Amino acid sequence: MMRAITLLIVTASMVSLNSGANAATLINDAEAQLPAAKAIATRSITRGPAIKVIAPDPSIEKIASPFKLHIAFEARGGARIDPASVRMTYLRTPAVDLLERVKPGLSERGIELSSAEVPAGEHQIRVVVQDSEGRETSSIINLNVVK
């Protein structure tokens, strides 16, 4: 009986730990206080992979934190996404590498976090991804977070 209870507690703990595996403090308060980086142009015609923000809904002007973060990657022309090529940078001076924070939710299909924490304010994040043929795409994600 004691063994069954111990097994149940260990299993419940593992489920609890795994359910939070896709939650992250994406940007902390100190990083949000850094000066904004200069504007960067990213528009160009490319055959590289597509980067699409699924959540938070791009049509919503202001979002509350925490929020679900889902960025989809779509390869073109039979190529595959190279997850090792993904870069995610908070555009501040100096720039802040966010990749380690999103790695639990990173896959060939994109980035998916069940709960991303971001301080109130306007934030720009650059996402870069490359496909198996070496074609690279960069996209800027604008977040306007309210309390």
Helical ranges in 23-143 per DSSP H: 29-32, 99-102
pLDDT tens per residue across span 32-60: 999 999 876 655 566 889 999 999 999 99
Distance (Å, whole) CA 128 – CA 46: 13
pTM over 0.85? The answer is no
Q: Which residues of the chain have a pLDDT value below 50?
A: 1-21
Write the DSSP string, 15-60: HHHHHTTTEEE-S-HHHHTSPBPPP--------S-EEEEEES-TT-
Distance (Å, whole) CA 64 – CA 143: 10
